[in-house]
Structure 1
Amino acid sequence: MFGRLRAWSGRHPRITDALWLTPFLLVSLLNVWTVGVVDLVAWGAAKLGVWGFAGLSLLLFVPLFWLRERPVVVFAVISLTSFVQWLAGVPTLFFNVSVLVAMYGVASRRPLRWAVGAGLVVELGLFLVFGRVPQGLDLRAFATASAFAIAIWTAGIYANTRRRYLEGLEERAERAERERDQQARLAAAAERARIARELHDVVAHNVSVIIVQADGAGYAIDSDPEQARRAMQAVSATGRRALAEMRRMVGVLRADGVQEEYAPQPSLSQLDGLVAQVRESGLPVELRVSGVSRELPEGEQLTVYRIVQEALTNTLKHGGPDSRATVEMEYGVRELLLRVTDDGRGAATPEREGGHGLVGMRERVALFGGSVEARPVPGGGFQVVARLPIGDAGTGRAA
């Protein structure tokens, strides 16, 4: 119950302040009524005037609404107001208890040095008030008021200590939760890496079986058609098992709690659209294709698209104004040469730690046995050069 009340007060601080200040205001008004409105206004008007007396009451009460945000400022305003009241010879009102309320706010929300300062100011104020009686300092009244003030000051210190302790517990709990989640993510990543290695072994084994069975069927198709038929049935069954196993393991690798959006992956046919999109973003781009174009596997097409996309994105981010870019694709007999060049100031931009663009390019190209180079261009600009094996050269990929 108290936890819910504390949470509610944290969400509605203004309403909470109004609720606990309302009884204080009612008691103060009751004090005014007990003294007598006519007599109170009479001596208040004699000292400060009617409007001055009303202004004094407001200055002692209204600042408490900002005690939560600025306790030191509120305490300074109320203390200064009370000091001016003492200088003017205006008798003490119940509204002057706001000095103790403000002192509690400082002690409960600010470091100890501010709390000690506020306590000393209150003690000085009590000494001034009880030292102005006709017979001199009223020690009994001063001691009683000081004990009351010290009790309030101590309660503020305790509330400050408890709040800091609870905040420390919450911070440690949040840190422990973050560390637990991080450990869980690391464990999941390690398990997925193990599954990926198993996937490699499973696929390699099944593909080897398929190749052996297919070769056997090829040799036996003329001499023993029945054996060839059984071999092809084994190829079909093994292929289905390999595909099912791969789908299951890839599904585990993708199980990261985020809904996967399945959409066709980009290919070379969408490269013109990518270049046009970059042009619309403000970067002039020229696309050049040379050599005899070849039909590339979908994986290599996606790799080329992503490399161009990453290189042009880096030019947009780091090339600066008035920069231009050129994308060149050169089909060779056994190799596709991809070159993305710009004339911006990206070469002068310091490399940032934690960037994954070039790393991702290298990983994609290394999958097909190719290479990537990223370097500044003499005279200004930056260049990304990728080489991808095609045709028969592309079959010897890294396993």
Structure 2
Amino acid sequence: MAERSSAPLRGPGGDGRRAGYAAPWVIDALLGTAVALALALLVATGSGGAKPPDVIAYLFAAGFGALMLLRRRTPRTVLVLSVLGMFAYYTLDYPPIGVAVPVLPALFSAAEAGLMLWSTGAAFVVFGVSLFFRVYDGGEAIGFLLGYESVSNTALFAAAIALGYSVRSRRLRAAQQAEIARLTEAQLEREAELRMQSERERISRELHDTIGHTMSVISLQAGVGAEAVGQDDRAVSDALGRIRSASTRSLRELRSMVRILRSTSDRDETRSIQSLSAVQELVDAARAAGVEVTTDITAIPLDLSAPVDAAAYRVVQESITNVIRHAGATHAQVKVGIHDGRVHISVIDNGRGTASDDGATGGYGMAGMSERVRLLGGTLTTRSFPGAGFAVEATIPASLP
């Protein structure tokens, strides 16, 4: 059973190591071999002890090395067995091999696994027990034991624990950086998706505005032409000419919109299909439909941000479309001016004084315009004068920050 105090740290590769690094089991096997050889050398060259080195003594060395194969999966168990094994070795009175060397790899492994309390506690236990028995045996001077011996062992314990903690910190930092990179990439993808969705919504509104207005004009002119067939050939010809002009203009706007989608810089293209400079075409279409329109436009498109210019044009277009289709009006007045850094737009007619479902009260028409104006930091309001007209008024910052 795994005894790690925390989940294994994984690098960017997802398997706990980076490309080009040796497999963990290979590193552990090499570490175990080095530990076993070092302890075997100390056993063979050590002096003292009541018993000379034998097979069991070397088995202890091999056992300490073999524990390194389990240090990643069960670091706590490896630490406990290393400490107990070291005590057992000295209990059998074999030649001394030092109290630090057999447990240093286990202390390092426990600290690397995040078991700081276990590694620190084990170091204190080993230090305290070894110091007690060496003082108890009385074979060495107290000053030597408390001075050189204690300092050297303490330094080795501290170095092993610090190195393990450092390795863990480095791996944790690498894992965190990889996770941050993953989350950042995911966030960028979500932002890109949101931008795409926003662009789709914008295009949908543009298509509705363009096609809706043109279809209204075409439908009205087709009705005029149908009524004049066989009675007034000139009126039929004029109606067909207006239908052709409206459809041509609509196709031109659609082509321009496609060019915008393919262009990396869309300011000039945007103005070419949706700008206050094109309001006169809307006015001509309304007059051809029998609605007299007067204009008072003092705002210059070049003084406006492109999105503001486009929004102002669309507000006027949608308002005139509703006047033609639903208001039953004979006159409309369009005003667009700039005051105190804001564009003020108003379209007032003398119709029935109610808006259609496609206009200010719902649908993709004025409701969509209201949302567009709001996103630009402005406001759009409508006022009804029952039996006496309807007004659409909008205010938008002239320049976006």
User: TM-score interval w.r.t. the shorter chain?
Assistant: 0.3 to 0.5
Kindly name which structure, 1 or 2, has the bigger radius of gyration based on alpha carbons: 2
Higher fraction of helix: 1
TM-score (norm 2): 0.47
